[in-house]
């Protein structure tokens, strides 16, 4: 499956972004247009989210395994399902 790999800058928190005095942390991120998903790993945490496009200028067009894209889609679906269950438990 076609994907776009690029560098972007992230911060650990708003406080860090405002007061740290530096430009943040540069990470590598991948956008998969066919499924509308971006993913990266920052501080050893996997971040997966829906997106309309890459957050930065296109750096490199790559191919990724179809299975990876399918797993990421299922991950987001499971995450949403779990969020609903957790909300119900926290409110009830």
pTM across the whole model: 0.84
Range of the domain at 79: 2-91
How many domains are contained in the chain? 1
Neighbour tally for 76: CB within 10 Å = 17
- 37 with 72: CB under 8 angstroms? yes
pLDDT tens profile 31-80: 999 999 999 999 999 999 999 998 887 789 999 999 999 999 999 999 99
């Amino acid at each position: 499956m076609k994907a776009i790999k690029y560098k972007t800058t992230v911060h650990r928190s708003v406080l860090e972004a405002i007061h740290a005095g530096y430009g943040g942390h540069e990470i590598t991120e991948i956008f998969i247009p066919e499924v509308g998903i971006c993913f990266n790993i920052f501080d050893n945490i996997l971040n997966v989210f829906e997106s309309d496009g890459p957050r930065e200028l296109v750096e490199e067009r790559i191919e990724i395994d179809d299975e990876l894209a399918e797993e990421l889609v299922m991950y987001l679906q499971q995450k949403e399902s779990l969020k609903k269950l957790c909300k119900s438990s926290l409110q009830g």
